[in-house]
Amino acid sequence: MKNLSAIILLFIANSISGIAQGISMIAIPWYFKMEDSMSLFGWIYIATNIVSFFWVPFSGTCIDRYNRRNIFLYITIVSGLIVTSIALLGYYWGVLPWYWVALVFMMTFFNYNIHYPNLYAFVQEITEKKYFGNIASYIEIQGQLSSVLAGAGAALLLEGTTDGLLNVFGFEIGVPFNIQAWSIYEIFMLDAGTYFVAFVVISFIRFEPLKSRTKEIGNSWTQLKSGYHFLKNNTTIFLFGTASYCVFLSVLLTTFYLAAVYVDNHLHEQGDVYATCEMFYAVGAVLAGIAIRWVFKKVRLPMAVIIMTLLTSALFLVLAVTQDVWIFYGMLFLLGLTNAGTRIMRTIYLMTNIPNQLYGRASSIFFLLNIVGRVFFLAIFSTYFFQSSNHVIYAFAIISGFLLLAALVLIRYYPAFVKNTPRQTEP
């Protein structure tokens, strides 16, 4: 494989910053839940998505216009400086007001919006086509192993240890020390430090482009329209990309918002359970990265996505009708498996069918549609009804129905999708 050293360094940097980012993004919703301000956080999440609606198109054109390694350098150093500044304010004041916590959430979310499309476009640019499936799996494994460590770190830092007991995957394990729960600004300082380490690692990346890109003229809006026209002229790619993104949409709603409400209002548990559920989700995702293409090696790629979308719909329905911590863990494990599996299959499909010249802009179109869906559901789920009592279960029931609808769309256009996909998805 060409550019192997560049890919390895990229994965190392992604892991280092991903662990601390994961801890922060687990800690922030729990911070608002403990402040009894989840409705406020819901509107912050909505505002973040609305701003993303303007940021994503610009970031998509940047990905296709500029050196993608340099984009990683810019976003890591800028993010590191912002989070460091906010963490220092917390140390100075001894407390961090909610609006600074919200700013870290928004900045990290905007970072995600450019980081992951840039990551996929970059590896598509420096990797031979025959390795697309392997690379998609490796990205998922690396990212979710980071999430496992982030979940473990969040469980420790959010609640600390109690009488020398640490909650690991739902089990209390004796440890020879006691750790006090960290404040939110202490967690942010840890997060900030990893950005700078990632910056140093990325600076050592050297690569040889394997895909040619020509310089395009025009402003960001003009270039974005190129991505739009490509998808307009390739409706099969557009429909598959949009429908297959619905599982990812449900995950964002759950992990960044609904899970904290579910744990507190429905399960009546603490922050360690919330963080532990993220670990089970990540383990399921790691398993998908390792085995999902082998499991579906005799199944056409679109059919694999249909199966996993239907399974995700069913698991949300199970969460809506049960009230058990271990069932919750089990369903989050399956959610990690189905979301990661769907993402791997979707990535293979998109990397195979979208030219590298247009990848960032085409991806931004899918992100924009995903944002519209998030804002729509968050506007509903942030209302008092879903925040009161255990009514969050009705939110899960609604998501279940939404995913069923997405699966029906995939089934309806299945013959057209098959024409654009590899015959097998095995390694």
Residue 211 maps to a domain: no
Report the greatest alpha carbon distance in the chain.
64
Residue 390 maps to a domain: yes
| Percent of the chain topping pLDDT 70 | 89
Domain count, the chain: 1
Of the candidates 16, 23, 143, the one whose C-alpha atom is nearest the C-alpha of residue 87 is 23
Cβ atoms of 422 and 352 closer than 8 Å? yes
Residue 282 is encoded by which pair of tokens?
């990540």
Residue 243 maps to a domain: yes
Quote the CA–CA distance of 33 and 36 in Å, as a whole number: 5
Quote the CA–CA distance of 29 and 45 in Å, as a whole number: 10
First to last CA, the chain: 14
Residue 171 bridge partners (DSSP): 168
Residue linked to tokens 């600004």: 185
Give residue-wise pLDDT tens across range 361-406: 888 888 888 888 988 998 899 888 998 888 999 999 999 999 999 9
Of the candidates 401, 291, 281, 293, the one whose C-alpha atom is nearest the C-alpha of residue 346 is 293
Give residue-wise pLDDT tens across range 267-309: 988 877 887 887 788 888 888 888 888 888 888 889 999 999 9
Residue 36 maps to a domain: yes
CATH of the domain at 169: 1.20.1250.20
Instruction: Identify the pLDDT of residue 18.
Output: 79
Share the mean pLDDT of the chain. Answer: 85
Residue 426 maps to a domain: no
| Percent of the chain topping pLDDT 90 | 30
Domain with 224, as residue range(s), is: 4-205+220-418
Q: 161-165, 304-308, 346-350: which has the highest mean pLDDT?
A: 304-308
Give the predicted TM-score (pTM) of the model.
Answer: 0.76
Q: Is the pLDDT of residue 135 over 90?
A: no
Question: CA of 340: how far to CAs of 20, 62, 285, in Å?
Answer: 20, 26, 5
Residue 63 maps to a domain: yes
Quote the CA–CA distance of 65 and 78 in Å, as a whole number: 20
Give residue-wise pLDDT tens across range 184-229: 899 899 888 888 999 999 999 998 888 777 766 666 667 777 878 8
